[in-house]
Amino acid sequence: MISTDITLSSSHVPAKRASRVPRLMSHVPCPTSPPSAPPASHVSCPASRPSAPPASHVPCPASHVPAKRASRVPCLMSRVPAKRASHVPCLMSHVKTKQQHSTHQKRRHPMTEIISAYGGFRKTLSFGFVCLIYHATEVFCTRNYSYKNDALGKTVGQMVGAARSARQNIIEGSVRAGTSKETELRLYDVAKGSLEELAGDYEAFLIGHGEVPWAENSPEATKLMSISLDHYQGTPSRNDYGKYIMAMRVRFAEFLEAEDPIVAANSVLMAIDKACRLLHRQMETIAEEFCTEGGFTERMSNARLEMRGAQMFANHVPLCPKCGKPMRKLIARKGSNAGNPFWSCTGYPNCNGTLKYT
């Protein structure tokens, strides 16, 4: 008669193959044969608790299977290879690993700020004026160009496209400022060029209708220049900035979105000139910051040099007495000191500085 202590993992294995099956469950008792006291050789899983209820309270999965198929139902752990059985960790070990990983990430603070400030385009007056120019251009084209005088839609597409290009390039340039001052300058320059292109269309419209652009000291221009654009002081929220732009549109609507196309064209021309001057001033400021603070590549190099210096200080690595570069430990292969360590300059072969290893 088969003893009730035989585990379920070996009950479904034929006799010829029984010798080749590793005793995976030698340390885990089967729920179908709950002994009164587990043998001393049985070791519980690391995830189990000492005060776990007796195995008799846990129904065996095979108890719900017909008798003919019972021999085919293996124990839950019987499918784990013997070599991997020891690698099954406790469930809480994963939580600990994540906590350690997050703690390690929090401790990583760069010595030098590599990525500079970026994305503050909504705080600039130039972007505010460009937004007003874009919306005014849409209104102007809708009112003054139709299928009759712009059958292919090229004029409308070019004007709205130029206004959009100026707006979007300011956004992209501001966002890219964190890693490339050069890209920021180039994109601001593209935005300025798009505004100048748009100004050419408005100028052509005025001349085509027998009008000349306003002079800076004309009464209309003086009245328009008396209207100021507020500095946006809100949050970066699109909702808040949208409210700000709508309020500024209402303030400038008398000129920028006037029903008289001559007034609207002249007003947009003056707004374009203002935005171009502001963009040029921003570009000069960015160039000065680059000269004093450096760019992204220089900040990366400085951060790496600072970190390497800290690592050398922690590892007591000396500096080359000839060139000042860090040294590295090598083993002499020839000469009277063969087999002994020494310090060699990392600038070799350009520098042959050495120091005695102590």
DSSP string, 55-72: GGGS--GGGGS-HHHHTT
Q: 260 falls in which pLDDT band (50, 70, 90)?
A: very high
Residue 216 near residue 208, CB atoms below 8 Å: no
Question: Quick one: which H or E segment has residue 354?
Answer: strand 354-356
The CA-based angle 133-135-140, given to 5 degrees, is 90
Give the relative orientation of helices 154-175 and 125-144 as an angle to the nearest 10 degrees.
Answer: 170
Q: Both 216 and 249 in a single domain?
A: yes
Asked whether residue 278 is assigned to any structural domain, the reply reads: yes
Q: Both 258 and 330 in a single domain?
A: no
How many domains does the structure of the chain reveal? 2
Asked whether residue 157 is assigned to any structural domain, the reply reads: yes
Q: Both 261 and 292 in a single domain?
A: yes
- The span from the CA of 294 to the CA of 342, in Å, is 38
pLDDT at 71 over 60: no
Q: What is the pLDDT of residue 21?
A: 45
Asked whether residue 93 is assigned to any structural domain, the reply reads: no
Q: What is the pLDDT of residue 345?
A: 87
Asked whether residue 217 is assigned to any structural domain, the reply reads: yes
User: pLDDT by residue (tens digit) across 83-128?
Assistant: 444 444 443 444 444 444 443 333 344 444 666 676 789 999 999 9
CB atoms within 10 A of CB 50: 5
User: pLDDT by residue (tens digit) across 133-191?
Assistant: 999 999 999 999 987 777 778 899 999 999 999 999 999 999 988 788 888 899 999 99
Of 244, 261, 296, at which residue does a domain stop? Answer: 296
Q: Both 292 and 332 in a single domain?
A: no
Residue 9 near residue 78, CB atoms below 8 Å: yes
- The span from the CA of 326 to the CA of 343, in Å, is 10
For residue 345, the SS3 value is strand
User: Which token pair is 116?
Assistant: 């500079």
Q: Both 256 and 355 in a single domain?
A: no
Q: Both 203 and 337 in a single domain?
A: no
Asked whether residue 72 is assigned to any structural domain, the reply reads: no
Alpha carbon separation from 320 to 301, 303, 308, 314, 335 (Å, rounded): 20, 21, 15, 17, 22
- Mean pLDDT, residues 243-261 taken together: 96
Domain containing 349 equals 317-358
pTM of the predicted structure, to 2 decimals: 0.55
